[in-house]
Structure formats: structure tokens, C-alpha cells
Structure 1
């Protein structure tokens, strides 16, 4: 079964880095306010060489349009990132499959139903996994590049789809596309199913996923804490659910508060792995190449608790830079 319908969404939905990719092309360059520059400087210090040209550069608005260089990029090879944890996404946006003894949990679902067939299903089959075993799809936020194939899986396999109540409301009434914004074509949202709530733990076959509400990028963005193992050794993965600082001042304030709260929760929980739901944000594509080349070596996604705390700090500092009139702000 393949759904052929399409759905128009806003440029903010297409450009997962929100204003960063759009504002760079608006008018002449202007001086960065002193307070904003202080936050950018702190972000760059936290970034070091590891994240300077990816997370910090993109989020602080220093790297130009974020999506364009990935628009025609080849689909990356499906990759086992951790034990029974697989990347089955594209170059611009991720989908992650977790195998459990009772089925599969999928985190995010790319852009379209066709992606569901050609990328997600094909990736699962490469690892000997049956797409019919996908029991849940956890959607980090209600933009079309994250829920795209969820309706396809729900209709074909009876997969349950989980999203926050606020973002179920968001996808039910998609915003109009701004004048002059590039076209965005995604498959329609799935029928409303399960509500993700703050503090909820989704459990399947011995695998837990802890949900933390982090509104800002959208009204109901959720971020995730996921225990993973590498060659049997336990680690904790933290996934920030909505990359891209919003232009609206109230939403931006929520984004900053959410980033600080999630940093505190994830650091207290012992997160030592970060994983973006957009692989170019944290150089995941390069790390996947390294992992495929050296599958028994040190896992490049395990960065340690100290490095994770710095990564989380970059997100907050860049958002504060935008709030102070930094380069991603209009």
C-alpha cells in the first residue's frame, strides 16, 4: 500500500533549523549585538573543534542555509549505531529503529510514504528486520519531515503513532506556507492516536524510552532519553527533539526554558550519548561512516557525560543569542 497524497506545510517545517536557514538570505549583513555575541562566543567555546562547524555554526546562524547542501545528497547507508539500534533515515532527517524482543520502536518517520517504502522498510530489511514488527512510531514533533511515513505504517501494519497532544493539534491545522518560501511536500499526518506526555516511559520488550516535553520548536516538541548498549555496555542517549530556534518571542522563550530543563534532566540521568534527529546538525553522517569502517572500534557516538553537557549548552547559548538579536533573528 502506498499513499499518494501530499500535504503543504510551512518553510519552518521544511527547514528544520527554523529561521536559521531563512534569515541568512534576508537583507544585508548587520552587526551582531554585544549580548548576542557573548552567547555565540560561549557556544563556540563549548563546541570546540567537534561541533564548531555543525551544531554551533548552524544553531547560532553562522553557517548559512542549512538544508541546501543536503537536498540532493545520497541516502546514507543504513547503519547499526548501537546494539539493536539502527539508522534508517536520509541525509537531511533521521529515522531510528530500535529492535526489542516484542517488536520495533521507530523514532520519527521521514518525509513521505515513499520514504517509508524506499528508505525505512528497505533499511529494516537490510538488517533482517520485518517492517510489520514496527509496533510504535514516536514522533518528536509535528513537522512533515518527522511524521511523513507514519500514516503509511499505521494503515499498512497497524503501527501505533505517538505524538504530544499539542502537536497532534498542530498537524490537524497546518499553517499556511509563507509567501516566497520554498515549496514543501510531505505526506499527510497520520490519524490521531497516542498522546505523549511529560515523564511518560514507553516500554516494549525490555526497551524503555523516557519522554520529556520540550515545547518551543513546536508547541509540543518532545525530547527523549533512551538507554542503549554498545557491545553490551550500558549508555544513555539523549535526543533533543526540535532543532531550530523559533522566531516568535513567546515560543523562543519556551525553547530556551525547555533546552535548559532538558539539559538538567539528561545530565542528571547520566547522558553520555547525543543524537540529533537531523544528522547534519551533529555530524552524524561522518560518524556513521567511521562506525561502518571500524565496527568493533570505539563508538564515535559515545562522547561521555562532560562532552554531552557541552553539547546541551550549545543549544541553549545559541537560542539565547537569537533572543538577543543574533544572526538567526529577523
Structure 2
């Protein structure tokens, strides 16, 4: 296996570094009697945060791509809010149409069983050689290359992997034994839980790729399970046999070995590495922390109607306490995406940008307009919107105009 590493210089300015240095303010409801919302607007923007919002809006309104418009609307305008927070000072509402979006005009995060709806049998083929498997909430992206199958993220549990991906692959003409690399976007359980199942039962030589900081975190999780210090949600086992079975199940849901780790460039938290996965295929991995300390994105070659494209796979969400770092990281990722010519976008959380709806529409009609194929300008603007909104959030938290928790 040949691995060539190229650490790409970070795109960091003194202004952005200054934004990164401030502490995030927390607070209580102005009445003193109720908590502020989980995340979202509380008061009108002050001038600087409004300037970042205006910049993001300008990028979003260049065209009518619904994924790009969603990016601005949620991260900059609404945040995540729930109807249970009515009375805390926010406007909240029910979803107009949960089959099309899990965010309402006022930001309602639709965290219900509806998000567990599984994709159609065989997954959704959104490029000639790329599929999304999983649920409306979280999934795995599979890319078929001349050098074997690649997977990006690995769902929550081995059971999910079996039923939502592996059992569905034959209908898509894919064989789990052909997996060569699994790219794990970050350490959270809903992105790593099914990886070991593939290695242990289908493709014993598959390589796991993860950013170094989160690889260390996963190793620590495994150690905690082995030595019995891991936290549990349910009751403790009552017999040695039950204890061993529980330990085995928990270890199966944690990657046992990260074969390739993406490091950060010296003195910064971001980095990138070119990974030759075979004679014909190169993947660019990007360490872009924010959602976790080792969040990782990837750029992989794909085709559409036989023409070459570059798919940017994002494995993240928000993390308001790290908004300043996130903005810097996404600036860096944006620079890499532009240099590599990334022109297709997908997030392994399908509720984001209402991807689940657009994926299902593509499944019904593969010739329908494909908003994931947004062009190099669109991918750049998508990332630019996210970064600008993160800077706005950073300032809003300091100003007390938004609340994160």
C-alpha cells in the first residue's frame, strides 16, 4: 500500500485567529425563570454578526440550489429549536411538511422516530458510482472505484450496518467483500458503529482511515470498555457471562484499529493527506475540526453520466462552543476543495440540507435535477456559508443575541 502525505497550508488570517481567542458566553432566560433555547436567535444581531450573516446570505442567493439555501437558513437564521421551548422567548412551530424537510421556517429540529425511516431497498444511487445507504438521519456513502469499494462513515451499530447497508448492497450490484477502505469522519457512535462488522465478517483486509485526534479518542473508548470504566446507560450485567457478552458487543461497535491516521499540520489543528487507495484512485482527506477535535472530510473521484467529478463528503454538524475554530477549519477545507475541483456535495447526516428528500426524489427519477451536483462554485459557496455562519454564531454567543444550550 502506498500512502503519500501532503500537509496543506492552513487558510488562517489574523482576523479569524482573533475571533478564535474569545470565550463563549452562556446565560439564562431574561426572565430568570426558564432556560434559553438549545440553539438559536434570542435578540437582533449586532453589526458585526449581521455582516457575517449578510455575507452568507449573499453566497446563498447566487442560485436556487435548495441545499445551499438550507445551509444559510439553518446555520445563520434559525438554529436548532424545538416546540417544547415555546415560552422561552422564541418563536417555534411545527413542520409544514416533514417529508420534505426536518427544519421548519423557525428552526424546529424534528428529532423523532420519523428520522429513523430507512432509505429504499438498494440505497440511493446519486452518482454513477456512489450510493447513500441508511436512514433519513444518518447514513454511509459507498463509492465504487476501479480499485474496490470505499465507504464513508459506518452508521451507529453493527445491526444497522447489516440491515441498512450490507443487506441492501446486492440490490445495488455491490459486494461487501470488495471493501478496501472505510473513512470514519469523526468519533461519534453514529458514524463508527458498523465498521468492525465489515472487517470481521466480510472484508478482513479493509483499512480504516480516521483523523489522528479522533483515532486517539476511539482507542480510549475501547480501553474504557476493556477495563470496565466505560459509562453505561442501562443496568449492569448480573452474571459473568452477561458481562462478557456486553463487552463483546460494545467492542464490536468500536473500530478495533485505525490503520491510517490523518495528522494535523505543525502548530495548527487542520491538515490534509492524499491517500492512494489503488493504482487508479486517490482520495484527499481533510482534518477540519469543529464538530469534534478530529472531524475529517474527504474528496473522492466519482462520475455522472460517464463524466468525471469530485465528491466532497462532509461528516459533521454544529458545535457552537467551537464555532471560531470551526470557521477556520472550514476555510481550510474550502481552500482544499477549490484546489481539488470538488463539485459534488453530500453529508452523511441526510437530514441536513433536507438531503433525505432530494435523495428519495433522485431514487424515483434518476434523471431529475440533482442538487448534490452543485459545481465547484456551489461547493465553495456551501462551505463559505457554513464558515460565515459559524463566525456569526461565535459573535452572537458573546453578544448574548443567541444561545447555544
Output the TM-score relative to the length of structure 1. Answer: 0.80
1:165 corresponding residue in structure 2 = 212
1:85 corresponding residue in structure 2 = 130
2:118 corresponding residue in structure 1 = 75
Q: Is the 8 A contact 2:153 2:183 kept in 1?
A: yes
Where do 4+ consecutive residues of structure 1 move more than 6 Å? none
Residues 37-186 of structure 1 mapped to structure 2, 5 A cutoff: 37-48=50-61, 49=64, 50-51=66-67, 54-60=70-76, 62-65=78-81, 68-69=110-111, 71-73=113-115, 74-77=117-120, 78-157=123-202, 158=204, 159-173=206-220
Q: How many residue pairs align between the two structures?
A: 300
Quote how far apart the aligned CAs of 1:52 are. Answer: 6.6
Quote how far apart the aligned CAs of 1:26 are. Answer: 7.1
Specify the structure having the higher radius of gyration (Cα). 2
2:46 corresponding residue in structure 1 = 33
Deviations 1:264-316 (A, max 9, x none): 12112222212112122223222223322332455332112222222111110
1:266 corresponding residue in structure 2 = 337
When the two chains are superposed, the root-mean-square deviation of aligned CA atoms in Å is 3.0
Quote how far apart the aligned CAs of 1:167 are. Answer: 0.4
2:393 corresponding residue in structure 1 = 322
Q: Which runs of 5+ in 2 are unaligned?
A: 1-25, 27-34, 82-102, 104-108, 225-229, 232-249, 263-271
- Which range moved further: 311-320 or 158-167? 158-167
Quote how far apart the aligned CAs of 1:109 are. Answer: 0.6
SS in 2 for 1:154: helix
- Which range moved further: 138-147 or 319-328? 319-328
1:231 aligns with 2:274: no
Q: Is the 8 A contact 1:138 1:161 kept in 2?
A: yes
| d(CA) in 2 for partners of 1:79, 1:47 | 26
Q: Which runs of 5+ in 1 are unaligned?
A: 1-18, 178-185
1:201 corresponding residue in structure 2 = 275
Q: 2:254 aligns with which of 189, 197, 214?
A: 189
Change beyond 3 A, Cα 1:240–1:27 = closer
Q: Is the 8 A contact 1:60 1:328 kept in 2?
A: no
2:361 corresponding residue in structure 1 = 290
1:211 corresponding residue in structure 2 = 285
1:24 aligns with 2:67: no
| d(CA) in 2 for partners of 1:173, 1:321 | 34
Output the TM-score relative to the length of structure 2. Answer: 0.67
| d(CA) in 2 for partners of 1:156, 1:240 | 27
Q: Is the 8 A contact 2:299 2:337 kept in 1?
A: yes
